[in-house]
């Protein structure tokens, strides 16, 4: 990609002596403030493919706080594509200014089409796609959350040779694309743990379609009610983690994973001497949107 890509390093997390393991955080959030972490990985080969097909327009889907929408808006503009975001929720059409993610995407030149929640559910059906083909020319379609085979190929590049020393690799899970890439590129003796950010049992099956290795499992206890739901307990955890480690976590994905890891450390889940690598998949652009929800409810905010 033609914009500067920041360096993703493994940063050691300071743990209390009572936890006899080592924990590192791979700072994929450092790649870019808006095309951060896994969204950069997932777009890399898709944008190459779009260029090869001579597409002029990128079309994709997302909700009001979507990291993927922000990433496509910026990366699309940087690479000379027009971008169209199909957004879940008709009511948002008149609320763009009050929404940090949509305001940013618009400033990057993204056009929007706001559709109802029921219509949004149809977005991957042949009828829906045919309708797009009637209305738009020369476009490249990127699925919701950016997950497809090329996205997984990009996510296979998150782990490097130096990461083979780790016994565990942990990541947050939305659509399952990122963990699929990690599973494909990890060694057989490593265990990949995914922390879904939402409820639902479909993920196990979705991920199984993209991988053949079996050395992975999902830890389903830390979704905190789903995507946009932010509990006080999680906000306190984020603020505490920032104070202690000077690393900001995002409330939709990475904070839930890290909360889970700390809970599991406390419960003695990891054998003594384990080396654990957690992936900071980014998503920090979403904090402003979540904070405005918290503010409306008069709840404590995420400080950053
Ligand atoms: C999108 C996203 C995820 C989830 O990635 P999937 O590939 O959809 O599972 C995790 N973390 C962050 C910060 C994200 O933006």
Q: How does pLDDT run across 200-229, given as a tens digit for each residue?
A: 888 999 999 999 999 999 999 999 999 878
Among candidates 143, 212, 201, 214, which has minimal Cα distance to 173? 201
Closest CA to 205 of 195, 215, 192, 218: 218
Q: What does 128-140 look like in DSSP terms, one character per residue?
A: HHHHHHHH-SSEE
The atom of ligand 1 lying closest to the CA of 171 is: 10
| pLDDT of amino acid 149 | 96
Q: Which residue has the tokens 């904090």?
A: 287
Is the pLDDT at 1 greater than 70, yes or no?
Answer: no
- Counting ligand 1 atoms within 8 A of each CB, the residue from 28, 38, 60 with the most, and so the one to mutate, is 38
Residues contacting ligand 1 via CB (< 6 Å): 37-39, 67-68, 145, 147, 172-178, 250, 253-254, 281-283
pLDDT at 300: 95
pLDDT of 201 reads 83
Considering only the C-alpha atoms of the chain, give the largest distance between any 2 of them, rounded to a whole number of Å: 62
Mean pLDDT along residues 187-191: 97
**How many angstroms is it from 30 CA to the middle of ligand 1?**
15
Which domains, and CATH codes, for the chain?
10-33+156-296 (3.40.50.1100), 39-146 (3.40.50.1100)
- Residue 174: per-residue pLDDT: 95
Test site for ligand 1: of 64, 101, 145, most ligand atoms within 8 A of the Cβ: 145
Report how far residue 74's alpha carbon sits from residue 186's, in angstroms, rounded to the nearest whole number.
30
Which atom of ligand 1 has the smallest separation from the CA of 178?
A: 7
Pocket probe for ligand 1: among 31, 143, 158, 174, the residue whose CB has the most ligand atoms within 8 Å is 174
The residues, any chain, with a CB within 8 Å of residue 271's CB and separated by 6 or more, are: 167
Work out the mean pLDDT of the chain and round it to a whole number.
Answer: 95
Q: What is the mean pLDDT of residues 184-188?
A: 97
Asked whether the predicted pLDDT for residue 34 surpasses 80, the reply is yes
pLDDT in tens, 45-93: 999 999 999 999 999 999 999 999 999 999 999 999 999 999 999 999 9
Q: What is the pLDDT of residue 5?
A: 78
User: Strand locations in 126-270, DSSP E?
Assistant: 139-141, 168-173, 191-196, 216-218
- CA–CA dist 55, 100 (Å, integer): 28
How far is it, in rounded angstroms, from Cα 76 to Cα 80? Answer: 6
Ligand 1 atom nearest to 175, measured from its CA: 8
Minimal-distance CA residue to ligand 1 atom 13:
283
């Amino acid at each position: 990609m033609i914009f500067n890509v920041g360096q993703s390093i493994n940063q050691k997390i300071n743990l209390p002596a009572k936890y006899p393991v080592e924990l590192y955080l791979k700072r994929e959030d450092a790649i870019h403030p808006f095309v951060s972490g896994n969204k950069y990985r997932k777009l890399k080969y898709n944008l190459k493919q779009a260029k090869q097909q001579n597409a002029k327009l990128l079309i994709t889907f997302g909700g009001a706080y979507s990291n993927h929408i922000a990433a496509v808006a910026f990366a699309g503009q940087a690479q000379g594509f027009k971008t169209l975001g199909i957004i879940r929720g008709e009511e948002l059409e008149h609320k763009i200014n009050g929404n940090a993610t949509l305001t940013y995407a618009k400033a990057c030149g993204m056009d929007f089409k706001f559709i109802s929640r029921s219509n949004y559910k149809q977005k991957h059906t042949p009828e829906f796609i045919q309708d797009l083909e009637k209305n738009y020319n020369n476009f490249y379609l990127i699925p919701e959350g950016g997950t497809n085979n090329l996205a997984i190929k990009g996510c296979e590049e998150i782990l490097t040779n130096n990461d083979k020393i780790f016994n565990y690799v942990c990541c947050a899970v939305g659509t399952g694309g990122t963990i699929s890439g990690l599973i494909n590129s990890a060694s057989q003796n490593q265990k990949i743990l995914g922390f879904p950010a939402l409820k639902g049992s479909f993920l196990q099956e979705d991920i199984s379609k993209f991988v053949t290795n079996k050395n992975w499992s999902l830890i389903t206890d830390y979704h905190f009610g789903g995507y946009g739901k932010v509990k006080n307990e999680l906000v306190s955890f984020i603020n505490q983690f920032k104070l202690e480690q000077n690393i900001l976590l995002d409330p939709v994905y990475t904070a839930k994973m890290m909360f889970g890891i700390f809970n599991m450390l406390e419960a003695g889940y990891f054998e003594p001497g384990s080396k654990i690598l957690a992936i900071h998949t980014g998503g920090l652009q979403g904090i402003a949107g979540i904070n405005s929800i918290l503010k409306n409810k008069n709840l404590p905010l995420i400080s950053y």
